[in-house]
């Protein structure tokens, strides 16, 4: 029996690799001779770096950068097993979770720290990058990221703009003369599921980044002006491309300044991990996530796993930290069996702290059910 174990992380409790290890341990208690392959996954958001590093035998690189308010913080990125591909989560440098509620300031926050992560990767010889751009605190169109890579933004007097999307209305010229020379030869993939255009970014995402109605209006006008300058500088109409508005316009910045390409987050992870080939060889696929409900079918990792598995006619079991509204709909979306991992009523804090044990035990129970089926119904 060849079992592929391909879960997402269980938020606030287990990384995807830890979840996969717990499932494998439980399964082998019933089927000790089973071949279990671990393939920790993510969807391009939080946990993508760790999952891809784990899946490819890569390593983490720790580096000091500047947070959205340009304060020094400890951050990280990954280098995959090939030694030349960097994987970056912009949230690790420019994310909203790095700020307290009272610190949210979308007119001032900058993606400079994300650019610093990219710069370090370039200096270490990486010529391929995967950048997940969810969870930002910024609406600066990627200006801060570009600044860190040597690109200059000036007003009509030739003075550099201050950090943040609040200054984009003064933008007159973009100077690429001092851009890091390795950027042109680096292939960059943006892992994002957002299809918002640049000019809509402030309206759709500004409020969740702390923008007042007046600030949303100001940022919207600024991004529209920024879009005009991008068009004059680079030609085409980057601002209207799907995903250009992701992470407060960082998508547009990466498309314009780095020649990046946009791909859905799970698809990037799917290709990087060789998921199709692994599923095609498996007898059974087990996936998992922290909460499963009807929303799982809209781009979450287990749904992606199920769609690939059905392509190869492989059975799929989903183990969930908790089951939410209308999870039953997933039985029509490629899942063959769905199980919660909790075995009794318990506080959320206990479920989080005991997640590894609960997941192992749930895998063991499911394995016993399969053993029962093989023993009494296998020949029928």
Residues 6 or more apart whose CB falls under 8 angstroms from that of 224 comprise 199
- The mean per-residue pLDDT over the stretch 251-265 comes to 95
Q: H/E element holding 51?
A: helix 48-56
Beta strand 152-154 pairing with 173-175: antiparallel
How much is the pLDDT for 240? Answer: 87
pLDDT single digits (tens) 101-123? 999 999 999 999 999 999 999 99
pLDDT single digits (tens) 56-95? 999 999 999 999 999 999 999 999 999 999 999 999 999 9
Q: Is the pLDDT of residue 380 over 70?
A: no
Residue 203 burial by Cβ neighbours in a 10 Å radius (0-12, 13-18, 19+): middle
Alpha-carbon distances of 209 from 105, 139, 145, 204, 220, rounded to whole Å = 8, 8, 18, 10, 14
pLDDT single digits (tens) 323-366? 999 999 999 999 999 999 998 989 989 999 999 999 999 999 99
CATH fit for domain 48-265, picks 2.40.50.140, 3.40.50.80, 3.90.1510.10, 2.60.40.420:
3.90.1510.10
Q: H/E element holding 26?
A: helix 16-30
Q: Is the pLDDT of residue 218 over 70?
A: yes
Q: List, in sequence order, every beta strand (DSSP E) within the chain.
A: 2-5, 35-38, 59-66, 72-79, 85-89, 128-132, 152-154, 173-175, 187-191, 261-263, 284-292, 316-323, 337-340
Q: H/E element holding 235?
A: none
**First vs last C-alpha separation in the chain:** 20
- The mean per-residue pLDDT over the stretch 239-268 comes to 93
pLDDT single digits (tens) 299-322? 889 999 999 999 999 999 999 999
As a whole number, the mean pLDDT across the chain is: 94
Q: What does CATH list as the number for 2-40+283-377?
A: 3.40.50.10350
Domain ranges of the chain: 2-40+283-377, 48-265
How much is the pLDDT for 379? Answer: 46
């Amino acid at each position: 029996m060849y079992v592929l174990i391909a879960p997402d992380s269980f938020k606030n409790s287990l990384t995807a690799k830890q979840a996969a290890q717990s499932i494998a341990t439980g399964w082998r208690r019933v089927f000790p001779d089973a071949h279990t392959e671990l393939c920790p996954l993510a969807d391009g958001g939080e946990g993508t770096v760790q999952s891809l590093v784990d899946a490819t035998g890569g390593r983490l690189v720790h580096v000091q950068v500047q947070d959205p308010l340009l304060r020094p913080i400890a951050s990280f990125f990954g280098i995959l097993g090939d030694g030349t591909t960097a994987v970056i989560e912009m949230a690790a440098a420019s994310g909203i979770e790095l700020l307290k509620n009272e610190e949210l300031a979308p007119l001032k926050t900058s993606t400079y720290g994300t650019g610093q992560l990219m710069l370090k990767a370039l200096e270490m010889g990486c010529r391929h990058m995967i950048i997940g751009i969810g969870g930002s605190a910024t609406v600066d169109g990627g200006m801060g990221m570009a600044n860190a890579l040597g690109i200059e933004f000036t007003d009509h007097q030739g003075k550099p703009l201050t950090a943040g999307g609040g200054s984009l209305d003064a933008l007159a010229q973009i100077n690429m003369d001092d851009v890091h020379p390795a950027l042109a030869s680096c292939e960059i993939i943006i892992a994002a599921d957002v299809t918002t255009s640049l000019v809509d970014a402030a309206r759709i995402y500004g409020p969740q980044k702390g923008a007042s109605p007046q600030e949303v209006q100001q940022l919207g006008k600024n991004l529209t002006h920024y879009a005009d300058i991008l068009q004059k500088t680079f030609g085409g109409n980057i601002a209207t491309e799907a995903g250009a508005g992701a992470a407060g316009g960082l998508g547009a910045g990466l498309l314009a300044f780095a020649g990046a390409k946009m791909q859905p987050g799970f698809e990037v992870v799917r290709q990087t991990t060789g998921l199709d080939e692994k599923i095609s060889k498996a007898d059974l696929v087990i996936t998992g996530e922290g909460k499963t409900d009807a929303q799982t079918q809209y781009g979450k990792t287990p749904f992606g796993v199920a769609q690939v598995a059905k392509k190869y006619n492989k059975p799929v079991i989903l183990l969930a930290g908790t089951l939410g509204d209308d999870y039953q709909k997933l039985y029509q979306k490629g899942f063959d069996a769905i199980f919660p991992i909790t075995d009794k009523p318990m506080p959320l804090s206990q479920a989080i702290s005991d997640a590894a044990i609960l997941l192992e035990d749930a895998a063991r129970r499911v394995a016993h059910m399969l053993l029962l089926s093989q023993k009494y119904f296998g020949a029928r």
